[in-house]
Structure 1
Amino acid sequence: MDSIAQVQAWLSERPDMETLAYVALLLVGAWVANFIVKKILLRGALRVLSFTPVGKDRQLFERNVIARLANVVPALVISHWIVEVPNLPETLAIVVDNVAIAFIILTVARSISGVLTVINTFYEREEDSHLRPIKGYIQVVKIGIYAIAAILVIAALIDKSPVILLSGLGAMAAVVMLVFQDTLLSLVASVQISSNDIIRVGDWVEMPNLNADGDVIDIALHQVKVQNWDKTITFIPTKRFISDPFKNWRGMQESGGRRIKRSLFLDQQSIHFLSTEERDKLRRFRLLQDYLKTKQEEIDAWNQELKDAGKEPVNTRRISNIGTFRAYVLEYLKSHPHIHQDMTLMVRQLNPTADGLPLEVYCFTNTIKWTEYEQIQSDIFDHLYAIVSEFGLRVFQHPSGVDMRSLGEAFSRQRDTEKPEQKQS
């Protein structure tokens, strides 16, 4: 006790040393408090939590939510005991106290932000979370928290009431609206997207204006991230999904079928009525037997009503090769194992063009996978291109260099055969 009294007497004779000693003692106390909280209490709490489902989730620790809150303790120690340091200027004590309070406010705000991030992560693990993403709302709440924290930090640093700062915000409303106009527009867009179920994570969207064509992989407050089919990433402002036109392929994905809408261009000069020999030849097709029989009975009944006028072929109805081919394609699609039979299925003619007569195939596959869809579509048209000649039809295409050379060779042979006849005459 005598030693302690001697030290106190010695320090009292030297005010500067006494102040430094108390400051050092305060820092040591803050460090001890930090050590006890982080190394003992925090570690013990985490060990207890490790036996629960929440404690086994590493996401809670990756965000350092609890560790950030532990930093509040040494700041509280400094804020509470700084005024007890003897001979310390009052202004300096107030500054240190204000900085400690500001640090506590900022730490709490960051911790709350981490908690919100963890909540969003847990929510995204739910099976139906992509139907109602909350990331945009989480970001709005974070902005509000940091805005409030900024006001409280400034108020703490200048040692003024936050009410004084808030009263001045009315005059700055126009400036705030100007600065945060993108955030406000994005917030409104996010609410509309969520409430109207416009897009979800996983939707295939197409926005030609921005060269975006791919899957939505993230919906945030300000931007929607789209991964295009070439694996590039397009960042689209959220508000553009409200103001700009775009296509969402979700309906196709949910229906379970993907549309095939493609035409076969036929040479119009190859269209003709079928002769008896051609009809007999086409009866070999299993898919055409019922059609040819029913169609022939219908045509015979029609022609019998013409009586004498029916003697002229121009007055009668006859089976055409293009109509038979159209019936064959329809039956082929109905019997195809990869065509959705419960959706629209038809084969129709479109308006004739300079490139031939379009015969359009309109149907849906029973799969929505891109590679399988392309394979099915290609297989169908491989078959149609290969079998169209059986009906006496030709596929139209513009003359190529090979066609011109063949035509020239044919003309030369014809000219060579005509020259000897001219010489004999």
Structure 2
Amino acid sequence: MTTKFFYHIFKDNLHLPHEVSIYLNLASNLLIILAFGYALFRILRFLGRKYLSKIAYKTKTSFDDLLIKNRVFLNVARIVMLLLFNSSLHILLEEFPITYKYLDRVVSVVITFFIIWFIRSILLTIKDFLRELPSFKDKPLESYVQIFMVILWMIGVIIAFSLLTNKSLYKFLTALGTFSAILLLIFKDTILGFVASIQITVNDTVRLNDWITMEKYSADGNVIEINLASVIVKNFDNTITSIPTYSLISDSFKNWRAMSNSGGRRIKRSILIKANSIKFIDDIKSFERIELLKSYIENITQEISEYNKTNKVDKSVLINGRNLTNFGLFRKYLDEYLKQHPQINQELLFMTRQLAPTPNGIPLEIYAFSTNKVWANYERIMADIFDHIFASVPYFDLEIFELPTGKDFRNH
């Protein structure tokens, strides 16, 4: 089929004017080329879906499955169709040189952009494949894909302008250097995000699925995405917080990964004991029935008795010599309680300690690590421990400080 085939039909057989025959011939040829190109595109797409999908399914690697998922072969079919159309333009438009000149540039620009989309689908495939590997599972791969695409689109736009204006790339790159300051201002956030992504990866400060807390942005939850512009956090109340990527290296935040990977989650909470409820124990027998203290009381009373006897201490005054206090005995009781608690990690540090006195009383702090690190379970364990502590305080003739209420004033 020649490009003059329809011209002869319109001119010789139908006796249409020369100019009309030329345009009708062009329109007919374009329709045939477009129809042929579309049919080729559909055939390639059909073959890709029917045969390539089966081949990818049978292979052991998932890379070819990801190629299909990210439409790599579909983009190849589009490029082939456009190349076919572009190669036929000089034949179809041989009598329209000006039209051919501009249409050839436009089609070349479209092919350039489709090539960029093809490269993008390859990059997404590589990203998805690397995401399946353990060493890359929690790395911010999206950031690298995005920065590469930004650079690629910038190159694509430069090439497009070069094709449309028929100017050399060198002139455009020279002009680009002139506007570099403006470009740096426009892409400031992108550049900062890219730098932050590299530092985050190198320093391993944040990974996907890390639990982070950042009060400045009201973020308290798990990282679900790290990209060039932002870090997406799904908070525990199911809200989503977007944090600028650069903020993770310029501002402070808390990453709970080390706790998650450790043997326990820290419990660090205190209660306030009234100072005037602390006293020497005169009758130790009332505490001997507490099972957790029975062995300790037997040993300590014998030790104290021998000390006072050796040093001839006058015990007619209780303060003389060595004595037990209800507060000290209570701390020992809590140590023993934590030691036998099934949810406290015995291999990590745990203790009951007395902090500096305050105007509201003497702080008694529990410092331990729960074996269960899940937030809800951790809160239940801590609540159970302190429920027991609050209920145990009266057994040692101690009082917990709390501000008086209206009811307290009425009772007095």
Q: Same fold (TM over 0.5)?
A: yes
> What is the match of residue 43 of structure 2?
40
> In structure 2, what is the Cα distance between the partners aligned to 1:315 and 1:174?
82
1:131/1:197 contact within 8 Å kept: no
1:304 deviation in Å? 2.1
**Secondary structure of the residue that 1:131 maps to in structure 2?**
coil
> What is the match of residue 392 of structure 1?
397
Letter of the structure 1 residue corresponding to residue 336 of structure 2: E
Letter of the structure 2 residue corresponding to residue 47 of structure 1: K
**TM-score with structure 2 setting the length:** 0.91
1:15 deviation in Å? 3.7
> What is the match of residue 416 of structure 1?
none
> In structure 2, what is the Cα distance between the partners aligned to 1:308 and 1:273?
16
1:12-411 counterparts in 2 under 5 A? 14-36=18-40, 38-53=41-56, 60-85=67-92, 88-276=95-283, 279-307=284-312, 309=314, 312-407=317-412
**Secondary structure of the residue that 2:408 maps to in structure 1?**
helix
2:233/2:241 contact within 8 Å kept: yes
Q: Which runs of 5+ in 1 are unaligned?
A: 408-425
> In structure 2, what is the Cα distance between the partners aligned to 1:351 and 1:150?
67
> In structure 1, what is the Cα distance between the partners aligned to 2:277 and 2:6?
119
Query: For the structure 1 residues 189 and 86, does the alpha-carbon distance in structure 2 shift closer, same or farther, using more than 3 Å as the test?
Result: closer
1:238 deviation in Å? 0.4
Higher-Rg member (1/2): 1
- Higher deviation after alignment, 367-376 or 287-296: 287-296
1:130/1:202 contact within 8 Å kept: no
**Secondary structure of the residue that 1:399 maps to in structure 2?**
coil
> In structure 1, what is the Cα distance between the partners aligned to 2:9 and 2:160?
40
1:299/1:317 contact within 8 Å kept: yes
**TM-score with structure 1 setting the length:** 0.88
1:168 deviation in Å? 1.9
**Secondary structure of the residue that 1:260 maps to in structure 2?**
strand
Letter of the structure 1 residue corresponding to residue 326 of structure 2: N
- Higher deviation after alignment, 366-375 or 298-307: 298-307
RMSD: 2.4
**Secondary structure of the residue that 2:231 maps to in structure 1?**
strand
Letter of the structure 2 residue corresponding to residue 7 of structure 1: I
> In structure 1, what is the Cα distance between the partners aligned to 2:255 and 2:11?
82
2:343/2:370 contact within 8 Å kept: yes
1:292 deviation in Å? 0.8
- Higher deviation after alignment, 148-157 or 112-121: 112-121
Query: For the structure 1 residues 86 and 287, does the alpha-carbon distance in structure 2 shift closer, same or farther, using more than 3 Å as the test?
Result: closer
Q: Percent identity?
A: 35
> What is the match of residue 411 of structure 1?
none
